[in-house]
Amino acid sequence: MLGVSEQKVLFEYGKGLTKYGIAKRISQEIRNNSYVNLGIGIPTLVANYIPNEINVMLQSENGLLGIGPFPTEENVDADLINAGKQTVTMQKGSSLFDSAESFAMIRGEHVDLTILGAMEVSENGDIANWKIPGKMVKGMGGAMDLVASAKNIIVAMQHVSKDGKSKLLKNCTLPITGLNCVKKIVTELAVIEVLPDGGFVLLELAPGITKEQVIKATEAPIIISPNLSEMKL
């Protein structure tokens, strides 16, 4: 399923991953014969990096099952869009259906993995990704259903905000989307696991990034895995 973004720059040594690097690292978490929902933003890029030998059905909450990578200019179909209003391709055997049936799939726990963006994640695995107080929101979307129903949830996000504040916190400060649900986080700096009983564990570092940089960028305490390694992209 490698698509048009495979030639993009994945990281800048010592500074961290690009959004394409985050997406490619997360693609390594997808298991064969699984059903996966990709959220808006960086998660949609994951479709471009799924290895050809992996059989996966990508689901979009607006009623698509069997999404392929982003189209080239030559094969854009304006009628095929994901939940983020981006044009997509469809694999052989794909299905189109209404939103009610799509959410029945989600709420029925038929999605194995959900990959979401986030504005904040707490050490307990709480996620905030749908609203910033004082800013207009057109709707909460399907994130609350997804985090309440998926068997596994991975977050793709920036480790710190534009003003340098950590987004991996002891407690979320923004309105909560879901409680105790996030299992793993991939940022421009690191791969971090969220323990079942709470707590961050540093598993992998982006090329050229040090554990000291990650500790400094993380508000909550973080455990260093004894098997800490550099990401393989």
Q: Give catalytic residue positions.
A: 61
Question: How many C-beta atoms surround the C-beta of residue 80 within 10 A?
Answer: 19
Dist. CA 141–CA 228, nearest whole Å? 36
Dist. CA 155–CA 134, nearest whole Å? 24
CB contact set of 192 (below 8 Å; sequence gap of 6+): 168, 184, 185, 186, 200, 201, 202, 203, 218, 222
CA angle in degrees (0–180, nearest 5) for 154-158-160: 130
CA angle in degrees (0–180, nearest 5) for 142-151-68: 65
